[in-house]
Structure 1
Amino acid sequence: MMGRMVDWGAGRYETTAAELAPVAQVVVEHTGVGAGDDVVDVACGTGNAALLAAARGARVIGVDGAPRLLDVARERAAAEGVEIDLREGDLAALPVEDAAADIVVSVFGVIFAAVPIDALREIARILRPEAHAVITAWVPAGPIDAMLGAAGRVVARTSPKPPPKRFAWSDAAAVAGIAHDAGLELVSTDAAALPIRAASPEAYVDAGREHPMALAMRPALERAGTADEARAAMLAVLREANESPTAFLVHSPYVIHRLRRVG
């Protein structure tokens, strides 16, 4: 994963990566990638989509800003017997040649770009004419979004400044607008939902303590003495939303954008 405000190599992003693996499967199937295709996985993380594309016979480049996650992806590729060209780089300056890709994918990666249009310009640059990119974005709705909002409100009470406003990556009209300026056309937007499971709401929240974004938030909570309050607020949301009578199950909505390079 790439992002300037969060150290994505910290903690245990692997836990979240495993949770997101079904989305990578959906994205790769959505592309129709096959043998001989040149694929770039932008913000590849531990390699979920890159590995699936390589297993289909594609030539794959995976780019990420976190060296540790690239090491995990290399280990996974070796274990699965597939080849992936893994490169460290930034969303605004991908270490990939012009017009190198038949397909670009980004599973909840490009949405963390500091300047969204710069990231889309880079995707347009590395795509071949008329080639496609498929990216996923979370919808600001559902239990996980509500859980994060509950924690965020606790942090906001003691934060000296409000969090930066995020670009509306789930909004097709907003994406279409900046895509046009970047040399891309939004072809379609499909809605989907990721089932998220754990042994219990408590187990889910505790596992999430090692997520890089949770680690970035923790110092502010500990300085303010509100860590327990934030945990309680998160659990209250998840317990109410839980769909399982014996464990933990919720569904987190997301969208799949398909974009085409113009010209």
Structure 2
Amino acid sequence: MVDWGAGRYETTAEELAPVSERVVDRSGVGADTDVVDVACGTGNAALLAAARGARVIGVDGAPRLLAVARERAAARGLEVDLREGDLAALPVNDGAADVVLSVFGVIFATDPAAALREIARVLRPDGRALVTAWVPAGPIDAMLGAAGRVMARVAPGPPRKRFAWFDPEALAPVARESGLTLATTEPAELEIRAASPEAYVDAGSEHPMALAMRPALERAGAGEEARAAMIDVLREANESPSAFLVHSPYVLHGLRRTS
């Protein structure tokens, strides 16, 4: 189980900021728009929407990340209503939102259908949702796969079942049954930079998912093996001759509430 308030998710949130900018741009939110940011984390998308004049509710299950988001909002003089809540039971009234945003957030729901039903519930009849999902391809996915293979060897267990959020053919029928219509799917890439592959891996060592894996790796004495495997993948994929640069693919789904 991942504790999303553990470690330093802020590092990853900063890396993902360009995606939030793209999502908020595509959403067209502005004054007199009611927005709900689902799994808002440190508030990237919520703050951008609020800066454009929207009335924003941000929901997340990690109190520490909500505290970071509050501090960021206060520093920018922005009003954002930040609430602790579960993806399957959003603390938001029915039909409260013109727009729902979720930047790599709802994709971690243990029950995708329930999470999509909640998005449909909080949307107004003409409301829309924008959801980003990672595509299982590219260097970052390969890096995580390398670490996962080490983890599977030292702490074997049943494979985790993951819903294919990136795949419109998988998402569309579940969305439809949940009261949403998948209208668009836009491919995109996130540019990721660091001083070196080693620096990137080490910066990610405080990510909540990395912390969740660490005890099993340390008990098996495999922590350095996992680090080396990740660095090898990134060195091979590196696009920069003097630092570190890769591109990670994702999709931006546009959904509408089914009338």
TM alignment of 1:1-263, pairs within 5 A = 5-263=1-259
Which residue identity does 1:44 align to in structure 2? C
Residue 159 of structure 1 deviates from its aligned partner by 1.8
Cα deviation for residue 144 of structure 1 reads 0.2
Deviation at 1:165, TM superposition (A): 1.4
> Amino acid of the residue matched to residue 85 of structure 2?
G
TM-score by length of 2: 0.99
Structure 2, gaps ≥5 residues long? none
Cα deviations across residues 28-54 of structure 1 (Å, max 9, x unaligned)?
001000101000000000000000000
Deviations 1:186-207 (Å, cap 9, x if unpaired)? 0000000000000000000000
Distance 1:12 1:210 in 2: 5
Structure 2 Cα separation of the partners of residues 86 and 228 of structure 1? 39
Report the AA paired with residue 121 of structure 2.
R
* Identical-pair percentage: 77
Q: Which amino acid aligns with 1:35?
A: A
Per-residue CA distance 1:39-97 (angstroms, 9 max, x = gap): 00000000000000000000000000000000000000001111000000000000000
| Secondary structure in structure 2 of the residue aligned to 1:157 | helix
CA distance in 2, matches of 1:246, 1:177: 46
Count of aligned residue pairs for this structure pair? 259
**In the alignment, is the contact (CA less than 8 A) between 1:143 and 1:238 conserved in 2?**
yes
Q: CA deviation at 1:134?
A: 0.1
In structure 2, C-alpha distance between the alignment counterparts of 1:244 and 1:34, rounded to whole Å = 38
What is the RMSD of the two structures over their aligned residues, measured on CA atoms?
A: 0.6
Unpaired stretches in structure 1, ≥5 consecutive residues: none
Query: What is the alpha-carbon distance in structure 2 between the residues aligned to residue 53 and residue 15 of structure 1?
Result: 21
Q: Secondary structure at the match of 1:57?
A: coil
Q: For residues 147-172 of structure 1, give each alpha carbon's deviation from its aligned partner in whole angstroms, at most 9, with x where no partner exists.
A: 00000000101223133110001001
User: Could you tell me the TM-score, scaled by structure 1's length?
Assistant: 0.98
Structure 1: distance between partners of 2:82 and 2:7: 21
Question: How much does 1:253 deviate?
Answer: 0.2
- Is the Cα contact below 8 Å between 1:156 and 1:162 reproduced in 2? no
* Structure 1 runs of 4+ with >4 Å offset: none
SS in 2 for 1:186: strand
**SS in structure 1 of the partner of residue 240 of structure 2:** coil
Measure, in 1, the Cα distance between the counterparts of 2:216 and 2:167.
Answer: 31
SS at match of 2:184: strand
